[in-house]
Structure 1
Amino acid sequence: MRRVTILDDYQRVALASADWSAVGARFDIDVVAEHLDTDALASRLAQSEVVVAMRERAAFPAELFEQLPELRLLVTTGMKNAAIDLDAAAAHGVTVCGTGGEGNGVAELTIGMMIALTRHFAEEDAAVRAGGWQHTIGPGLAGLTLGVLGLGRLGGPVADLANALGMRVIAWDRSITPARAERHGARIVDRDALFRESDLLTLHLPLTESSRGLVGARELAMMKPTAYLINSSRGPIVDEAALLAALRDGRLAGAALDVYDAEPLPSEHPLRTAPNTLLLPHLGYVTTDQYARFYTDAAEDIVAWADGAPVRVV
């Protein structure tokens, strides 16, 4: 029977998040709960006609398409996926479709990370479980300056929530306009001022050649030693080595990270032991409502494609 493979279902919720009955009537459904490296991925997908990829957890470069002669449909959750070589997909006769999204998970998570980092939630939770009580102290967010690097689809809602908390919001990106800044209650500053003035700096840019390494040693050196960095965007936007050095030297009060250069984060990675950090496993989009939309649309994409009328083609 024809095969659909659902990749990287870490929480084992893909089949429970949507109605797959119409897909199951035509295909065997293979669910992969663990992350597979390139060789293991090629082996697992060798007989798959359809693959559902969760965001950018699995990369699909040209060399992988060459090893998957049976593949005809690749569904990515969301409508953009930088980990898929679309030219190679087209060259190998693979249709790529996407899905819609739901909710405001990234903005909510970003604010949550700010509070958890500055108020030391992880440390205090561990202390209480060990029999202790209060031993840290941190600032409230009201009155602090939040710098938003990228005031777009994701950064805008973060600014909205920050305003509701009584923060002062400043912003910079290459395409920012006064109208957009005003809509989100932000003051436009130049790039260097964003780093100098921010008490907390949050990143919301796509990963491109121009944004890779955008936050490096120079930029981190401009930040206040009492400032915090929040990254729920993409790991390589921040120079990881420079960030580690700033944290270990006490030149930054802390960092909350949901994204990394390599994901899943390697077990021996130095960030795991870096001081004053909150580390999350790329949870920005991981909500029940988002997964329901992703997998419902993915199932619809598969049925539509099987019927000869693909929808949401990327």
Structure 2
Amino acid sequence: MHIVISEFMDTGAVDLLRRDFQVLYEPDLVDRRADLLKAVAEADALIVRNRTRVDGEVLAAGRRLRAVGRLGVGLDNIDVPACRERGIHVLPATGANARAVAEYVVTSVLVLTRGVYHNSSQVAQGAWPRTAMSNGREVHGRTLGVVGFGGIGRMTARLAQGLDMRVVAYDPMLPGTDPVWRETQVEPVSLDALLAGADAVTLHIPLTEGTRKLIDGPRIAAMKDGAVLVNTARGGIVDEAALAQALRDGKLRGAAMDVFGEEPLPAGSPLAGAPNLILTPHVAGLSVEANTRVSDMVAQRVAAVLKQG
């Protein structure tokens, strides 16, 4: 049986798959669409990250496909209903990168709330902006608002509570009577209440028609003055132009964006030059440890499906 891997995967997991299967591992295959279509024609399984579009064209070419492994958790690059119709298993690495994302979020909240880490070049050049940098804030006793209280949201909440932050969360899929609220000691609130009361807001929801530009201009305006926003979910959830304007106006103290409506972020984006803004290239869930966990989990799940016969 054949497995095609079109993006980066931990080599240990690739070697594990090679023990039992014929594996084509070409991390740049994602950028060679014609070669990808040719390769999947012989594949029983396809393993991707977030850039490979597993759409109708790929599924039509991959008539033998029985599994699509996703090295991550977001599925917006995979036509899940079409896979389901064809009996193809879609296998994400649920939970494997939760720690990496949660640490990214909490680190970003700390950096942006304290506000003293952006002037290294000035200090190196002999300036001493001590007075200007002496008004940073602590997170102790402040409120973190988590939008989407799944595995990553819960891990983020736990780390924030370790810093003595109060945590509230909004998740329309979890009723207020769900035992998870009591177990995590997190208060369920409405989205409006969360935005109005949180000192930092972090997003952990999928991109759907219902969540596209969920955090738009009016909702950003409704946030607490001086709040921090962190988005490691999907770029289309935040109105980037509205966020940039809120940062320039001083409405928000800062923001960290790991995901964007268009990736790579195009030149001339309204985010370019906005103050107190951390931009990273969709890496919140990537770390040495997370890459190993994600790759191992997907390799095991794909192998299990193919070995079912």
Q: Tell me, what secondary structure is at the counterpart of 1:273?
A: coil
SS of alignment partner, residue 140 of structure 2: coil
**Change in 2 beyond 3 A, CA 1:19/1:113:** same
What does the per-residue CA deviation read over 1:83-105, in whole Å, with 9 as the maximum and x for residues that have no partner?
21133335567554444543622
Q: In the alignment, residue 23 of structure 1 is paired with which amino acid?
A: R
Q: Which runs of at least 4 in structure 1 moved beyond 6 Å after TM superposition?
A: none
Which residue is 2:164 aligned to?
Answer: 166
Quick one: distance in 1 between partners of 2:256 and 2:120?
16
Tell me the equivalent position of 2:26.
31
8 Å contact kept, 2:213–2:238? yes
**Pair 23,301 (structure 1): closer, same or farther in 2 beyond 3 Å:** farther
SS class of match (2:25): strand
Does 1:148 find its partner at 2:136?
Answer: no
Counterparts in 2 of 1:34 and 1:221: CA distance versus 1, 3 Å: farther
Residues 165 and 72 (structure 1 numbering): CA distance in 2 closer, same or farther, change over 3 Å?
A: closer
RMSD of the TM alignment (CA)? 3.0
1:213 and 1:238 in contact (8 A); partners too: yes
Question: CA separation of 1:27/1:134 partners in 2, compared to 1, >3 Å: closer, same or farther?
Answer: farther
Question: 1:7 is matched with which residue?
Answer: 6
Code of the residue aligned with 1:112 in structure 2: it is T
How many angstroms does 1:281 deviate by? 1.9
Show the 5 A alignment for 1:188-227: 188-227=188-227
Give the residue type in structure 2 aligned to 1:116.
Answer: V
Q: What SS class does the counterpart of residue 229 from structure 2 fall into?
A: strand
Paired amino acid for 1:180:
V
Cα distance in 1 for partners of 2:192, 2:298 equals: 42
Is the 2:4–2:39 contact (alpha carbons within 8 Å) kept by the matching residues of 1? no
Counterparts of 1:88-107 in structure 2, within 5 Å, are: 88-89=82-83, 94-99=88-93, 101-102=95-96, 104-107=99-102
Q: Distance in 2 between matches of 1:235 and 1:300?
A: 30
Compute the displacement of 1:291 (Å). 1.6
Flag the 1:160–1:70 CA change in 2: closer, same or farther, 3 A.
closer
**Aligned-partner SS, 2:252:** coil
Q: C-alpha deviations, 1:268-297, integer Å up to 9, x for none? A: 423232222111222232122222122223
The alignment partner of 1:202 has SS state of strand
Count of aligned residue pairs for this structure pair: 300
Q: Deviations over 1:55-102 (max 9, x none)?
A: x33221223333556756432225662321133335567554444543
Does the Cα contact within 8 Å between 2:240 and 2:270 map onto a contact in 1? Answer: no
TM-score (norm 2): 0.82
Distance 1:277 1:91 in 2: 42
The gaps in structure 1 that reach 5 residues or longer are: none
Q: Do 2:29 and 2:36's aligned partners in 1 also have CA atoms closer than 8 Å?
A: no
CA distance in structure 2 between the aligned counterparts of 1:127 and 1:66, rounded to whole angstroms: 56
Are the counterparts in 2 of residues 76 and 97 from structure 1 also a CA contact under 8 Å?
yes
Normalising by structure 1, report the TM-score: 0.81
**What SS does the corresponding residue of 2:168 show, helix, strand or coil?**
strand
Q: Is the 8 A contact 1:151 1:176 kept in 2?
A: no
* Identical pairs, percent: 32
**Correspondence 1:298-313 to 2 at 5 A:** 298-301=298-301, 303-304=303-304, 307=307, 309=308
Match of 2:76 among 68, 75, 82: 82
> 1:17-46: per-residue Cα shift (whole Å, max 9, x none)?
43515516742533224863xxx3243442
Q: Which amino acid aligns with 1:264?
A: P
**Which amino acid letter does the alignment assign opposite residue 206 of structure 2?**
P
Q: Is the 8 A contact 1:101 1:293 kept in 2?
A: no
Look up the match of 2:60.
66
- Does the 8 A contact of 2:72 with 2:92 survive in 1? yes
Check conservation: 2:10, 2:292, Cα contact below 8 A.
no
Change (3 A) 1:134 1:35: farther
Which stretch of the first structure deviates more once superposed, 293-302 or 107-116? 293-302
